[in-house]
Amino acid sequence: MLSSSSLDSQGLMSVLHSVTDAIIVTDGEGIITYVNPAAEKLFSREGDGAEASALGQRLRPGAINPELGNQLTQAITDQAPTPLVFELELSEGNSFSVSLAPRRGAGLSPEGWVIVLHDVSHLQKSAQWKREAFRATAHDMRNLLNMFSGAVSLLRNSIRRPTPAQKEYVTMLKSGAENLTMLIEQLANLERIEADADLKLSKLGLIKIAEHVLEEFGPLAQEKGITLELESAPTDEQVLGDETWLRRVAASLVSNAIKCTPEGERVLVRYREADNQAIMEISDAGPGIPASAQPHLFEGLRRVRGAPGSGLGLVVVRTIIERHAGRVWVSSEEGKGSTFGFSVPLSK
């Protein structure tokens, strides 16, 4: 491995001139002291020529790109001790991942700043292609499932006196179609929220969302012989959130709890506030989750307590709550049920 002393000044300059990432170096005041050829070429292409010709002179990054200049100004003001990473779109379809790092010297304050721009346009285009391909596929799959469900209904109605085996087969077909539909919807929700879909933020009461979800799932709980309860103190506190997405979170957790709770038992939804957070917890009387599985429940395709499904619902839950600057958790003991919870900041 080469040590830092293995490269002399000329060798270091040769390396900086050879890399394809655009590199800009400034002094402590934000004046540009060095640009590599990749940066010269990039901003010559993006600018009008006059700005690019000034690179390497006593010029601030804001003169070649306002957003870049604003980020550097903020870093200088804050004396940011760690690198800042952000995305910069120089033109339509031309995106860069930018690292803005302090250049340390003998003193506490940075002696300057190093800005590295890495082209991620191809990644953006690939992600966009995948999103469009998924949406088209999901649309076609929904249509096929609708046809399949219709055929199953016709089959069930055409059998006047079905045998127990026929009833079982039709039920299996119907259940399979419903599970596939649910999986497609969960994938669609995950794709939308991970694609940075704009949240429609407004001030709302999380307790009101809990009440609506309990009203929605009350008939299902009653059908299964399960008691569905809400435990909360009166409150007027609100959160800043997207009502549609937060209702999906609460509905997903309550639905999971009902699915795995035996007849005659209780699902309890608790709402409380602490440390400037609105907190909702859903407790069931299911079989519980092994301790080894709990840290991974929100990570990916993992089934929950043997209930139907792929575990995608919990990934959607985590992603939505993280988009609201909140967190999720689970507490469970095998044979004693589980509690899934989430919190989001109260609105000031």
Question: In the CATH scheme, what is the code of domain 4-119?
Answer: 3.30.450.20
Q: Average pLDDT in the 282-307 region?
A: 74
Question: Residue 1 pLDDT more than 60?
Answer: no
pLDDT at 18: 82
Q: Average pLDDT in the 199-228 region?
A: 91
The DSSP code for 160 is S
Single pTM value for the model? 0.54
Q: Which CATH architecture has domain 201-345?
A: 2-Layer Sandwich (3.30)
Q: Average pLDDT in the 27-48 region?
A: 80
Boundaries of every domain in the chain: 4-119, 124-194, 201-345
Distance (Å, rounded) from C-alpha 183 to C-alpha 141?
Answer: 11
Distance (Å, rounded) from C-alpha 343 to C-alpha 281?
Answer: 9
Q: For 214-243, what is each residue's pLDDT tens digit?
A: 999 999 999 999 999 999 988 889 999 889
Q: Is 18 exposed, middle or buried (0-12, 13-18, 19+ CB in 10 A)?
A: exposed
Q: Average pLDDT in the 99-122 region?
A: 85
Q: Which of 74-78, 123-127, 342-346 has the lowest mean pLDDT?
A: 123-127
Q: For 144-155, what is each residue's pLDDT tens digit?
A: 888 888 888 888
Question: Residue 306 pLDDT more than 50?
Answer: no
Range with the largest mean pLDDT of 108-112, 191-195, 213-217:
213-217
pLDDT at 217: 92
Report residue 198: phi and psi, to 5°: -60, 130
Which DSSP string corresponds to 78-108? HT-SS-EEEEEEEETTEEEEEEEEEE--SSS
pLDDT at 74: 87
Which residue type, as a one-letter code, is found at position 48? D
**Strand partners of residue 342:** 280, 328
Give percent of the chain with pLDDT exceeding 70.
Answer: 83
Report residue 231: phi and psi, to 5°: -120, 115
Distance (Å, rounded) from C-alpha 104 to C-alpha 26?
Answer: 12
